[in-house]
Structure 1
Amino acid sequence: MCTHLDEREGRYYFRRRVPKVLQPILGKTELSKTLSTSNRAEAVRLCRAESLRSDELFAKLRADLKSAEAPSSPVSDPISAKVRAIVSAAQADADATRRAREDAEREREEDNDWYQAVVSYARDEGLDEDEALAFDREVERRAQLERAVQRRLKDEGTALPQQAATSTEKPQPASKSALYLPALIDKWAKERTPNARTFAKAALVARRFREMVGPIPVKSIERRHAIAFKDALLASGQSASNTNKTLELLSVLLNFARANEMTKMNAAQGVRVLVKSTTKPKARISFNLPALQSIFSSPVYSEHVRPDGGAGEAAYWLPLLALLTGARLEEMCQLAPDDVFEETYLDATGTQHAVPCVRFVHNEERDQGVKNAGSVRRIPLHPILIALGFVEYAHSHKGKPRIFPDLKPNSYGEESGNWSKWFGKYLRGPCAVTDNRMVFHSFRHSFKDACRECSISKDLADAIQGHDDGDASSGYGSEYHPLRPLVEAMSRFAIYGLTLPAPWSAS
């Protein structure tokens, strides 16, 4: 058995810890190398070869150390002196390499955080990923150019010439102790505890503001700066709608600063682009019948294929659950085995019945969360889900924290993040659904359309999907909506003309 084999997202790597005594020489605590294969048998063979090479490397370095540390005789030992010189030089090189690597990795982590934030933002707003990244890449390119010029001028002992002051001038920091947007975001996040994606969006706003307007202390941000930010966003190619969302988040941050006496005013309040609501096309639409038929006759359902990235049986169940519950993807990915259970209710004649249910809850101890208070709910399972074997599937994972254990969270800790990327590719590829407005979230739209077609009231549809209509009276009553009307609604729910797959099988 190869003990240095590591598997990440279907790819294999060689990883081995460097002995502590050799870490200063190599400048690292671990040897890591991609094996460039997803075949386990091949990976094991390559891993063993790497293990032998690392054994030889460690043995040689230990021998060199032993020679270098041996006590010298009164007569000069040129060989030992040479080894000591080599080790000393290697140590210096290793220290320099380590520092360079740490700097490079830090920059790489920052770039990755930025990239993930932009991609998430693009996905939320229905933008094309390449278009959303184009602006940010240009901003980063200009920032790198500016830093390079500053370094060159510093080396030459030359200061940049002062530019005439304008409304978009980038003032220098007032003092080292001044509070800037990144520090404000940290304070805001500590108190308001936003989710990881919202925090990333806030960090992206701070980055864009710094690049487009300047590193201005929070207390010095004026309305002219917010207006300049708006104009710069539009000039960069951002849509009016996305510009307004960026400004709204900046306003939220500055409002928090004003409430906590970090600034006297919210300079971004009311700054926005006028948008005609009738001109904005829908970013998301329901799946039509041909699209649904393509999804549920694709290889996952017709050939029992479980593609890489589909997280095993999650590829089969998540689209079906979304179709027949209208639930959000992250809610379903967080389900635990005991979230699928049986509950009794009385029908109109007073007869007691039992029905399998699923619940979506907020439970910090189990890392389960929902969008808002109205999303906490318990709903009966649709008869089709029961017939397909979902209850048996869920209970087969008893004792595990999740019913979809093969899901791997993304960098934000979202259990649906990586699976969502896979489904997007699967939808455009094997399923051949090419309309970019149709995404996984379209299942929620489709559920709402089907409820209307089946004469299921808005009140019941909202209760099933976890929609909060903002009406204070909706919060009155028990923790969960009464079960009987939900059961009756689910019995009427149907997607007319759709042929669903064969029941689930573990084989």
Structure 2
Amino acid sequence: MPAVSVPTPAAKPVTFEDLSAGWAAEKRPAAKTLYEWSRVVRQFTAFLGRTDAASVTPDDLIAWKEAMIREGRRPKTIRDAKLAPVRAILQWAVDNRRLKENPAARVSMDVKSKVAESIRSFTDQEAAFVLKAALAEANPVLRWVPWLCAYSGARVSEVCQLRTQDVVQVDGIWCLRFDPEAGPLKTASSERAVPLHLAVLDSGFLTFAQGIPSGPLFPKLKPDVFGKRGGNGTKVLGRWVRGLGLTDERLAPNHSWRHRLKTLGRRHGLAPDLMDAITGHGRRTVADSYGEYEMSALYRELMKIPMLNLPERPEAPCVPDR
């Protein structure tokens, strides 16, 4: 009697939706990251016209990359915001035996930084102009966030989510404490306490902070859809700075304060490891992880940066030559 052939059941498609859900359940990304990566995956599958991840080839990824180049997207955006999320989710699938190989593993985007595209610091003139304008603002976000960023190098998102209990004394020195309980921080080294510069204290910040009831330092700044005050704070401050006439695209209305503090650290000879501790950058060497970073040492270094002389009649600064 001849053998009966039993048909092999068709393999169940490995959908990007299932892979994204599995990746998210294990990695537990921030809500904003999950939203943005899910959107990128939808963009990729819409370009492909199919959702079966097992059918994706390196040629598909290259075709998507070329399409984005033709659309005029910036190389860094293509590499970091588009290809990287898809590659990471596909690699999770390989690591968890959902796929045999990662078709995006060797698909990359050459990114060459141009001087005209790199973020620069606020100049002394620009910084004085913005801080002088902030003094006239009734909105606490516009009044205080630029000052706190200017003299601490903190990220705007970190400052916007501060609570009244995060303005504290450590070893007799007034500080800002960046605590993950107040909101998400970018890295582990972002959790820190930073001394308040005398310029901030002299401008009356403590009086303001101590007059706010327990809770958010900027309670009228509404959280965004991800529950972060920094999201809306970044937009409010960005529009305000641009409205002052500072339109140079190399100038990031918020992040250029962080660049400026690094510039000032080099100008005035701040110890690099203490500078990193102030800004919340990761340790550079194993030696940097030895010992403690005492608040008195951080304050000593920060106070090497002099106060800005604010103009009596602020005028829009000239844009530096490219």
Q: Which residue identity lines up with residue 326 of structure 1 in the other structure?
A: G
- The aligned counterpart of 2:164 is 337
How many angstroms apart in 1 are the aligned matches of 2:67 and 2:135?
Answer: 48
Q: How does 1:399-478 map to 2 (within 5 A)?
A: 400-429=214-243, 431-438=244-251, 439-469=253-283, 471-478=285-292
In the TM superposition, residue 218 of structure 1 has moved relative to its aligned partner by 2.0
In the TM superposition, residue 472 of structure 1 has moved relative to its aligned partner by 4.3
CA 1:477–1:222: 2 relative to 1, 3 Å: farther
- The aligned counterpart of 1:125 is none
- The aligned counterpart of 2:302 is 490
Is structure 2 residue 218 aligned with structure 1 residue 218?
Answer: no
Q: Which residue identity lines up with residue 466 of structure 1 in the other structure?
A: G
2:150 is paired with a residue of what secondary structure?
Answer: helix
CA 1:214–1:427: 2 relative to 1, 3 Å: same
CA 1:355–1:385: 2 relative to 1, 3 Å: same
1:450-474 Cα distance to aligned partner (Å, 9 max, x none):
1111111221111101011454444
- The aligned counterpart of 1:35 is none
Q: Is the 8 A contact 2:145 2:156 kept in 1?
A: yes
Q: Which residue identity lines up with residue 191 of structure 2 in the other structure?
A: V
How many angstroms apart in 1 are the aligned matches of 2:20 and 2:199?
Answer: 46
Q: Is the 8 A contact 2:222 2:229 kept in 1?
A: yes
- The aligned counterpart of 1:314 is 141
2:151 is paired with a residue of what secondary structure?
Answer: helix
CA 1:499–1:181: 2 relative to 1, 3 Å: farther
CA 1:278–1:408: 2 relative to 1, 3 Å: closer
In the TM superposition, residue 243 of structure 1 has moved relative to its aligned partner by 1.7
- The aligned counterpart of 1:384 is 199
2:257 is paired with a residue of what secondary structure?
Answer: helix
1:271-306 Cα distance to aligned partner (Å, 9 max, x none):
01334x3546434211123322321232x423xx43
Q: Is the 8 A contact 1:213 1:228 kept in 2?
A: no
CA 1:417–1:291: 2 relative to 1, 3 Å: same
1:264 to 100, 109, 114: 100
Report how many aligned residue pairs link the two structures: 302
Query: Structure 1, unaligned stretches of length 5 or more?
Result: 1-173, 307-311, 345-353, 502-507
- The aligned counterpart of 1:72 is none
Q: How does 1:84-123 map to 2 (within 5 A)?
A: none
In the TM superposition, residue 494 of structure 1 has moved relative to its aligned partner by 2.1
Structure with bigger RCO (C-alpha 8 Å, 6+ apart): 2
1:252 to 85, 88, 92: 88
Q: Which residue identity lines up with residue 201 of structure 1 in the other structure?
A: E
- The aligned counterpart of 2:177 is 359
How many angstroms apart in 2 are the aligned matches of 1:208 and 1:500?
Answer: 52
Q: How does 1:65-214 map to 2 (within 5 A)?
A: 178-214=13-49
In the TM superposition, residue 233 of structure 1 has moved relative to its aligned partner by 1.9
Q: TM-score, length-normalised on structure 2?
A: 0.86
Q: Which residue identity lines up with residue 19 of structure 2 in the other structure?
A: L
Q: TM-score, length-normalised on structure 1?
A: 0.56
CA 1:355–1:449: 2 relative to 1, 3 Å: same
CA 1:339–1:283: 2 relative to 1, 3 Å: same
1:325 is paired with a residue of what secondary structure?
Answer: coil
Q: Which residue identity lines up with residue 436 of structure 1 in the other structure?
A: E
Q: Is the 8 A contact 2:221 2:229 kept in 1?
A: yes
- The aligned counterpart of 2:127 is 292
In the TM superposition, residue 327 of structure 1 has moved relative to its aligned partner by 0.3
How many angstroms apart in 2 are the aligned matches of 1:432 and 1:340?
Answer: 32
Q: Is the 8 A contact 1:284 1:442 kept in 2?
A: yes
Range 204-213 or range 178-187, more displaced? 178-187
Q: Which residue identity lines up with residue 370 of structure 1 in the other structure?
A: L
Range 458-467 or range 413-422, more displaced? 413-422
Higher helix share: 1
How many angstroms apart in 2 are the aligned matches of 1:314 and 1:493?
Answer: 24
In the TM superposition, residue 496 of structure 1 has moved relative to its aligned partner by 4.9
How many angstroms apart in 2 are the aligned matches of 1:356 and 1:279?
Answer: 40
CA 1:368–1:473: 2 relative to 1, 3 Å: farther
- The aligned counterpart of 2:188 is 373
Q: How does 1:24-39 map to 2 (within 5 A)?
A: none
CA 1:393–1:497: 2 relative to 1, 3 Å: closer
Q: Is the 8 A contact 2:163 2:217 kept in 1?
A: yes
In our comparison, the structure showing a higher alpha carbon Rg is: 1
CA 1:369–1:472: 2 relative to 1, 3 Å: farther
Is structure 2 residue 135 aligned with structure 1 residue 301?
Answer: yes
Q: Which residue identity lines up with residue 211 of structure 2 in the other structure?
A: S
In the TM superposition, residue 497 of structure 1 has moved relative to its aligned partner by 4.3
How many angstroms apart in 2 are the aligned matches of 1:240 and 1:436?
Answer: 17
How many angstroms apart in 1 are the aligned matches of 2:312 and 2:157?
Answer: 23
In the TM superposition, residue 372 of structure 1 has moved relative to its aligned partner by 0.7
How many angstroms apart in 2 are the aligned matches of 1:319 and 1:393?
Answer: 15
Residue identity over aligned pairs, in percent, reads 28
Q: Is the 8 A contact 2:57 2:103 kept in 1?
A: yes
Q: Is the 8 A contact 2:129 2:310 kept in 1?
A: no
How many angstroms apart in 2 are the aligned matches of 1:285 and 1:383?
Answer: 25
Q: Is the 8 A contact 1:450 1:494 kept in 2?
A: no
How many angstroms apart in 1 are the aligned matches of 2:203 and 2:114?
Answer: 43
